[in-house]
Structure 1
Amino acid sequence: MSEHARNDGGKRDRQGRGRDGGTGAGARPGGDPARQAADLLGTILGSVRYAADGPAAEDAVEAGASMLAAAAPGWEAMSAAVVTAAVDAVRRCWAGGWQPADLERIVRRDAPDAATAALVVDAVAAEEARRPSSSGPARDPRWRAQLDRLDARVWWAADPAYLDALTARRRATRFETACDVLTALRLLARLPRITPLPAPPGPSGPSGGSGPGGAPASRALGRIRGLLAKAEATTFAEEAEALSAKAQELMARHSIDEALLAHAHGPGGNQPADGPSAIRIGIEGPYEQGKALLLDAVAAANRCQAVWAAELGFSTAVGFPPDLEATELLYTSLLLQATAAMHRAADEHHARGRSRRTRDFRQTFLVAYADRIRTRLSAATAAATAAASAEAAAPDRLLPVLAARELAVEETTGTLFPDTAPVRLRGIRDAAGWDQGTAAADHAHLDPTRRPGLGQE
């Protein structure tokens, strides 16, 4: 949006009159203002949605904002119509496979400024508030957690007051507010349909709770979740290296225990009692290739599969719930460690006066880190599996159970994503970046056995 357009919008008064004193875009005299507002907004959104990217889209948004700010039905009627249109747009996104965190992430990536993502969160909050209790099954815990992380709540008093409240909150003009609202609605309307995620399994098993393990499983995952942050705080490479394999073994043993328990309470044979689930994990720039490979390495070590949608900014991890939980926790910790180590290595070499293309160095660093982490985690998982098999009362039962789960994950991934292709790496040409990335992975700390400390990077 041009500065000229913003300044011009600032010259409209509180009644939405233009500089010529007229009431602007109008509707027929009389009639229902709510209906007129909805019809006018539909016309505006049609022009905005189908405008070509670039200057044409900017012109359409600014023209639509002028009409919206000066509409004859009134600002309150247009405000109510905007909220209704936003709710409808969000519901179409849900039907198209999107989830709250996905919407916020892609709009934050593609929008001209951060304000647009905040408007999308408002739209999500409005949709959730309007969702009738009889509209289907309750939201699953992951969905609710996404809403909580986004702080998606209705903070305005009423829908007819939304645009005024938004304008006051942002200290903007009506024209500026209308421009941003239309930009957000355009982005939502133009999102493609994506593969919907399978519903997570419900509570089962004799012990209650989430999944077959019930309360014991929740305690195990809660312990991992609460302690893993310590990994980012350690400054002792030797300690980190010694503890890293132990951490993955702990997660692998938890996965094995869950698999055996699910098998014991499931149907006969080696088939899993519940099918695999899936989650989306954001892969944001820069250096998306290295981050996607790191997630793939962590997923594989935890008997999951990851499919990267580069154009959408996320990977989908498919697996059984305990394995998905471990994958997400471990990836988050490793990514923080890798990023900190990458910046330290780059700063050190710049300080020594060594010249290199920073992007190539960092991209190569992360790819090498992911490659080495894959080797370490796979070895730790193999060791945990061998130990569990040796300790099992019926050692010949474990491997078929794990094989059945791996097959179920593979089949589910193939069903969800029948058309996938290998990723061709680019920009991996810095030898020093490769060497230092490999070394950093050797020192990566993954131990989940300590409380988080202070002074994290």
Structure 2
Amino acid sequence: MSRNSQQNRAARKRKKQHRGNAREQRAPRPGIEGAESLVFAGIEFACGPAANPESLRRTVRQLADLDGSRSADTVLDWVSRILDGSMDHVFGTGWQPTEFVHAVRREFGARTARLTVTVIGAHASRTSARKVAPAQWREQLDELGIAPDSAPARGYLSAWCASENADPTDTWTAILSFLGYCSYLIPLTPLLAAPANWSEGMAASSSASRGPEPKILARIRGLLAKAEATPYPEEAETLSAKAQDLMTRYAIGSAVIDAAAHTSLRDQVVTRRLLVDNPYPEAKLQLLNCVAETNSVRVIWHQRFGLVSMVGMPIDLDLCEMLFTSLLVQASHALSEAGGDRVKRTPSFRRSFLLAFATRVGERLAIARDQAGRDASSQYGKELVPIMAERTEAVGSVFENQFPSTVPIAHSVTNAHGWQAGRVAAELADLTGGRERITG
């Protein structure tokens, strides 16, 4: 036998042995029962006390081997029922659609957030949310882009996997992360009725009870929008001053009317939640807290989820949200103007800028609040003092009942240039709400 023949024969033998070893090392595709066990194990590996990234990756690889097999769709249909049931748990513990998508996106990124929207769409279809859910719930479905009956009762998970056009390991990672997150999600204060308590009568009454927005609020919103959009500081100041005057009159006038009606103030206190996006959420929280203190609103930061709970009278919450939104827009514009060179584009500069902006705005609001108190007393008389004190006490009582244990948050400033620039920008900000000014 020639030397070349011997080499070729040895090469074929090695190749055959390699194929045999590869078959022995490759785990067989899991059956349906095996896949179910892998899913439950993966949920524990994804989140909670047993979380283990390496074990999760190994489990995901085994589940990904199902791709293209006869049992793949069957397993996905089974998992889709678990996903749908998990939403009953999530919504039953006080979470709302947009809040949950927001929290998932912060924790896991865009792919798992898209999965969450898909699952919420399937859940909305099963529960007939478009017919029986409260109006605020249906508005959140619209905000998430969930069309009526957008997700079929079956096959929606397979359709989502196909739409992602991603490696099966990526889609399985998103699925298991989602389920693990649901399993260990903390409850929130319920603000709307959970799906288990929906009825058609509730949907009709929630729509009717909201009614049209008061004309004065519509005027305030229009003034704020113009103040934020104009490039001329003098015009913005004029518009903001008018909005500020209307907001102050509206808030205090409503407080006097409530007092005359002898209604239970504690029963009027409500809770709302705001979504706070990255970047620099702690600086945005500082700005919101300054605005809230001026408007007799209490806030608490759910840091992990990027949520803020606000407790106060409905009118005060409306004004607080409008003022916060307006100042946030102004801060963003001011930061863009200040961030010209490389130093001013660094995260430390931008974060310090926003913290300084919020701190200085808070100082200006405190001065304006004191002036408003003096002006209000001359307009409404000394009876106003106990009226406002009673409202503050009612808000504080509800807040402490909901959140008996709170921890203060401390902020550190790491960029002196950013801090100084932020304070300068805050001096130019238009304080467009609260109780800063009452004119005759």
1:167 corresponds to 2:161: yes
From 276, 290, 294, the equivalent of 1:283 is 276
From 383, 390, 394, the equivalent of 1:397 is 383
Give the match for residue 59 of structure 1: 58
From 367, 378, 403, the equivalent of 1:417 is 403
User: Kindly tell me: are residues 363 and 42 of structure 1, through their superposed partners in 2, closer, same or farther at Cα, counting changes over 3 Å?
Assistant: closer
Shift of 1:370: 0.8
Structure 1, unmatched stretches of 5+, are: 1-17, 29-35, 203-207, 449-457
Question: Could you tell me how far apart the structure 2 residues matched to 1:234 and 1:156 are?
Answer: 40
Secondary structure of 2:399's counterpart equals helix
Give the match for residue 407 of structure 1: 393
Shift of 1:377: 2.8
Secondary structure of 2:268's counterpart equals coil
Secondary structure of 1:412's counterpart equals helix
Which residue identity lines up with residue 274 of structure 2 in the other structure? I
Give the match for residue 454 of structure 1: none
1:150 corresponds to 2:144: yes
Give the match for residue 93 of structure 1: 90
User: Kindly tell me: are residues 93 and 194 of structure 1, through their superposed partners in 2, closer, same or farther at Cα, counting changes over 3 Å?
Assistant: same
Question: Could you tell me how far apart the structure 1 residues matched to 2:311 and 2:300 are?
Answer: 8
Question: Could you tell me how far apart the structure 1 residues matched to 2:190 and 2:385 are?
Answer: 28
From 331, 353, 359, the equivalent of 1:371 is 359
User: Kindly tell me: are residues 139 and 416 of structure 1, through their superposed partners in 2, closer, same or farther at Cα, counting changes over 3 Å?
Assistant: farther
Shift of 1:420: 1.3
Question: Could you tell me how far apart the structure 1 residues matched to 2:311 and 2:30 are?
Answer: 50
Give the match for residue 296 of structure 1: 289
Which residue identity lines up with residue 214 of structure 2 in the other structure? S
Question: Could you tell me how far apart the structure 1 residues matched to 2:414 and 2:244 are?
Answer: 30
Secondary structure of 1:401's counterpart equals helix
Q: How many residues align?
A: 397
Structure showing greater Rg: 2
Question: Could you tell me how far apart the structure 1 residues matched to 2:99 and 2:336 are?
Answer: 28
Secondary structure of 2:154's counterpart equals helix
From 120, 123, 126, the equivalent of 1:127 is 123
Question: Could you tell me how far apart the structure 2 residues matched to 1:403 and 1:420 are?
Answer: 23
CA contact (8 A) 1:262 1:273 kept: no
Higher percent of residues as helix: 2
Deviations 1:208-227 (A, max 9, x none): 954xxx65x63222333344
CA contact (8 A) 1:71 1:78 kept: no
Give the match for residue 198 of structure 2: none
CA contact (8 A) 2:298 2:311 kept: yes
CA contact (8 A) 1:240 1:444 kept: no
Deviations 1:181-229 (A, max 9, x none): 33332333333x14414569x9xxxxx954xxx65x6322233334422
User: Kindly tell me: are residues 383 and 248 of structure 1, through their superposed partners in 2, closer, same or farther at Cα, counting changes over 3 Å?
Assistant: farther
CA contact (8 A) 2:271 2:310 kept: yes
User: Kindly tell me: are residues 80 and 299 of structure 1, through their superposed partners in 2, closer, same or farther at Cα, counting changes over 3 Å?
Assistant: same
CA contact (8 A) 1:244 1:444 kept: no
Question: Could you tell me how far apart the structure 2 residues matched to 1:58 and 1:161 are?
Answer: 25
Structural mapping, 1:292-441, within 5 Å: 292-347=285-340, 350=341, 355=343, 358-392=346-380, 395-426=381-412, 428-441=413-426
Shift of 1:276: 1.1
Give the stretch that moved more between structures: 157-166 or 81-90.
157-166
CA contact (8 A) 1:45 1:186 kept: yes
Question: Could you tell me how far apart the structure 1 residues matched to 2:252 and 2:302 are?
Answer: 29
User: Kindly tell me: are residues 445 and 66 of structure 1, through their superposed partners in 2, closer, same or farther at Cα, counting changes over 3 Å?
Assistant: farther
Question: Could you tell me how far apart the structure 1 residues matched to 2:295 and 2:215 are?
Answer: 19
Structural mapping, 1:6-25, within 5 Å: 24-25=29-30
Q: Percent same amino acid among aligned pairs?
A: 32
> What TM-score, normalized by structure 2, do the two folds share?
0.77
Question: Could you tell me how far apart the structure 1 residues matched to 2:408 and 2:27 are?
Answer: 59
Shift of 1:49: 4.9
From 175, 180, 187, the equivalent of 2:181 is 187
Shift of 1:97: 3.0
Shift of 1:117: 0.3
Question: Could you tell me how far apart the structure 2 residues matched to 1:243 and 1:226 are?
Answer: 9
CA contact (8 A) 2:357 2:422 kept: yes
Secondary structure of 1:311's counterpart equals helix
> What TM-score, normalized by structure 1, do the two folds share?
0.75
Shift of 1:238: 3.9
Shift of 1:155: 6.0
Question: Could you tell me how far apart the structure 2 residues matched to 1:37 and 1:187 are?
Answer: 20
Question: Could you tell me how far apart the structure 2 residues matched to 1:186 and 1:234 are?
Answer: 47
Secondary structure of 1:160's counterpart equals coil
Deviations 1:375-427 (A, max 9, x none): 333344444454444344xx34333222111111111111111111221112x
1:78 corresponds to 2:75: yes
Deviations 1:267-316 (A, max 9, x none): 3xxx4273311112223332222111100011111110111222221221
Which residue identity lines up with residue 437 of structure 1 in the other structure? G
Give the match for residue 5 of structure 2: none
Shift of 1:119: 0.8
Give the match for residue 428 of structure 2: 443
User: Kindly tell me: are residues 248 and 56 of structure 1, through their superposed partners in 2, closer, same or farther at Cα, counting changes over 3 Å?
Assistant: farther
Secondary structure of 1:259's counterpart equals helix
CA contact (8 A) 2:354 2:422 kept: yes
CA contact (8 A) 1:298 1:330 kept: yes
Shift of 1:262: 2.9
Give the match for residue 455 of structure 1: none
Structure 2, unmatched stretches of 5+, are: 1-22, 194-201, 203-207, 434-440
CA contact (8 A) 2:125 2:153 kept: no
User: Kindly tell me: are residues 27 and 292 of structure 1, through their superposed partners in 2, closer, same or farther at Cα, counting changes over 3 Å?
Assistant: closer
Question: Could you tell me how far apart the structure 2 residues matched to 1:438 and 1:24 are?
Answer: 62
Deviations 1:317-343 (A, max 9, x none): 111111112212221221121122123
